[in-house]
Amino acid sequence: MSTRSMLGQVYGRTPRVSLPERLRSWKYLFPSVLIFVVFGIVPVLWVLYQSTFVWSAFAGTRRFAELQNYYTIVHSSEHMLALGRTLLFVGAALAIQMPLGLGIALLLNQAFRGRSVVRTLLILPLTIPPVSVGATWLLFAREGTGFVPGVLEFVGIDFSIGQNALHAWTAIMLMDAWHWVPLLALIFLAGLTSVPPSLVESAKIDGANRFEIFWHVTLPELRTVGVVALLIRTMDLFRAYDSLWMLTGGGPGTSTFVLNMDIVRTVLNAANYGLGSALSLFTLYIIVVLSWLMVNTLYQEVLQ
């Protein structure tokens, strides 16, 4: 069901607005529309235009090449591997962070002394810039200076984010979870607060145990906020760059080299603006498609 027809149901009919009235409303909308067009639409179109050129700044050549850059991207193992790592990062991070966020929210929803203090502390990681988060975790995890390798050495594990890809990924996952799980916890906590108490009480009286109450009452009530949280996190994870670059720099080798790093390298280091633009649009395309899929499969189900 479309939003329009839903509104139509709510109001009984789709409101018909006369032409002068519509023109007047445009007058008020104009400033924000203008800003959106100038800063939102125009750059995207500009990038789209650039992506059709094979353009090497060092060589000083610029040649219109239609979709050749996109062809290059899909046929290059280098770029596709970067995409693969990004997808791995997004998928694994979601799989870790969503349940963790929900779990923490459930804990914080219990009544205990100092609950409001803990809730406030929860926001702290969100206030730290990703670069600083990356730097902090680098100090934690780097061999030689880090606290973590020092401790793990004690138990016989040779932890090295500079040499072992699995260790590097572990560090990344922990860092990103530390940084963003609080946001998810806050979103889920807001969702939990809006679950009508009588639903839980009714289930209690009917004889449901704690797990049954969670499964049959709480979890379904959290579906809407869950989908919103999933969307926000997915788009955010695709954009991750600064903290990852700080922590591993894409290494060891290229094992944590994600699509965003690929874009930076292509545009800045190789000064290949056309290909860089194409890569950016390619990333945008993937985000849009994934979000669209999520909205269509999950959100529709929640709304109906």
Among 5, 9, 76, 209, binds other proteins (CB under 8 A): 209
- Residue 198 interacts with other proteins (CB under 8 A)? yes
- Which CB, 158 or 301, lies closer to other proteins? 301
For the purposes of burial, counting CB atoms within 10 Å of the CB of 288, is it exposed (0-12), middle (13-18) or buried (19 or more)?
exposed
- Which CB, 60 or 207, lies closer to other proteins? 207
Among 217, 225, 263, 278, binds other proteins (CB under 8 A): 217
Reference 79, options 253, 287, 276; nearest CA is 276
- Which CB, 48 or 203, lies closer to other proteins? 203
Q: Please, what is the minimum distance in Å from the beta carbon of residue 226 to other proteins?
A: 13
Q: Please, what is the minimum distance in Å from the beta carbon of residue 117 to other proteins?
A: 21
Return left, alpha or beta for 66; rule: phi > 0 is left, psi -120 to 50 is alpha, else beta.
left
- Residue 195 interacts with other proteins (CB under 8 A)? no
Q: Please, what is the minimum distance in Å from the beta carbon of residue 195 to other proteins?
A: 11
- Residue 194 interacts with other proteins (CB under 8 A)? no
- Residue 203 interacts with other proteins (CB under 8 A)? yes
- Which CB, 153 or 212, lies closer to other proteins? 212
Among 21, 66, 158, 212, binds other proteins (CB under 8 A): 212
Binding site residues, other proteins, CB under 8 A:
196, 198-199, 201-209, 212, 216-217, 220-221, 223
